[in-house]
Amino acid sequence: MFEKSADKYKDRPRVIVVEHLSKQFGDHVVLDDFNLSVFKEENVVVLGKSGSGKSVLVKCIVSLLKPDLGSIFVLGEDISTLNDEELDALRMKLGFLFQSNALYDSMTVRENLEFPLLRYDKSLQKSEIDARISEALANVGLEHTLNMMPAELSGGMAKRIALARAMILKPEIVFYDEPTAGLDPVTAREIDALILKMKRKYHTSSIIISHDMECVKHTSDRVILLLEGKCYTQGTYQELEQSTDEKVKQFFESEM
């Protein structure tokens, strides 16, 4: 079903390959023999009900959680075989936008952005750091927040700063965990636009977790529906929107 949806990207290298991934917590099976490939510069949206294992999936991919079974290859590397240093080096090529933003609340905006930069390359000069921070803030249109604390930012501003931080190392893959959750529709669409802007500017591949169907519509190249721990179906937004399958229709009808 919906095989044509990957046509545009299928000749490109795969940046993420998940094979037969299983994860359970106690008796609760969250992911069950799940498979996924993400191609270079492709935006894949993982759609699913709350508690369906979407966040668990991305946390397994970035190795915040260890899978029970299966293998995960990120940028060609099997993450289960990497030691701590190799994993840290790989993670520097990844960006992660958390649902809660996860800004370091004891640091200013500048320090939040500076923190990964200083550890990424200790030889960076102050002028280079300043330039990278200015570029990151200009990308999200919040240059004036440089010396503000996270507590002083609105929800939308905090999300943008978190996005700027996720992009500061110019990652090859970005993970967006519910990027528009808790935002008003106007701000949510601004975040959608920023996600697309980052893709165009830095040629990133992304996995976006969302059940905001507007966000799915605007940002996805391919949508994967995660149900009962498995990939139930996948395709472009338009393909899924026209589906007659009751379980797929539920997501689109609830939006209308």
Partner 1 sequence: MSMQSLINGSKQFFNETGNIVKFSNRFFVVGTKPGSEFKELLVQCYLIGYKSLPLVGLTGFIMGLVLTMQLRPSLVIYGVESQLPAMVGIAIVREIGPVITALIFAGKIGSSIGAELGSMRVTEQIDAMEVSGINPYKYLVATRILSTTLMLPILSILADAISLFGAYIGVNINSVTSFSLFFTQVFQNLDFYDILPAVIKTFFFGFAIGVIGCYEGFNSKKGTKGVGRAANSAVVLSSVLVFVIDLLAVQLTDLMGFN
List contacts with partner 1 (CB under 8 A): 59, 62, 64, 84, 88-92, 94, 96, 98-100, 102-105, 115-116, 119-120, 169, 175
How many CB atoms within 10 Å of residue 123? 5
User: In the chain, what is the straight-line distance between the N-terminal and C-terminal CA atoms, in Å?
Assistant: 24
Long-range contacts of 250-254 (CB under 8 A, 24+ apart): 251/47, 251/211, 251/213, 251/225, 252/213
**Based on CB atoms, which residue is closest to partner 1, 78 or 86?**
86
Distance CA 218, CA 182 (A): 18
Shortest gap between Cβ of 42 and partner 1 (angstroms)? 20
C-alpha distances out from residue 140 to 42, 96, 192, 252, Å: 21, 16, 12, 30
Beta-carbon contacts of 143 under 8 Å, excluding residues fewer than 6 positions away, are 134, 137
Taking the complex as a whole, the smallest distance from the CB of residue 256 to partner 1 amounts, in Å, to 33
- Rounded to a whole number of angstroms, the minimum distance from the CB of residue 100 to partner 1 is 5
Consecutive H or E run containing 94 = strand 94-97
Residue 51 CB, nearest distance to partner 1 (Å)?
Answer: 16
Beta strands in 106-241 (DSSP E): 173-177, 205-209, 222-227, 230-235
CB of 165 or CB of 222, closer to partner 1 = 165
Q: Which is nearer to partner 1, 64 or 138 (CB)?
A: 64
Q: Which is nearer to partner 1, 31 or 103 (by Cβ)? A: 103
6 vs 16, beta carbon nearer partner 1: 16
Least Å from the CB of residue 59 to partner 1 = 8
Shortest spacing between CB 102 and partner 1, in angstroms: 4
Complex with partner 1: residue 100 or 238, whichever CB lies closer: 100
Identify which of residues 44 and 174 has a Cβ nearer to partner 1 in the complex. 174
The 8 Å CB, 24+ separation contacts for 29-32 are: 29/229, 30/56, 30/229, 31/56, 31/57, 31/60, 31/67, 31/229, 32/228, 32/229, 32/230
Report CA 147 to chain centroid distance, whole Å.
27
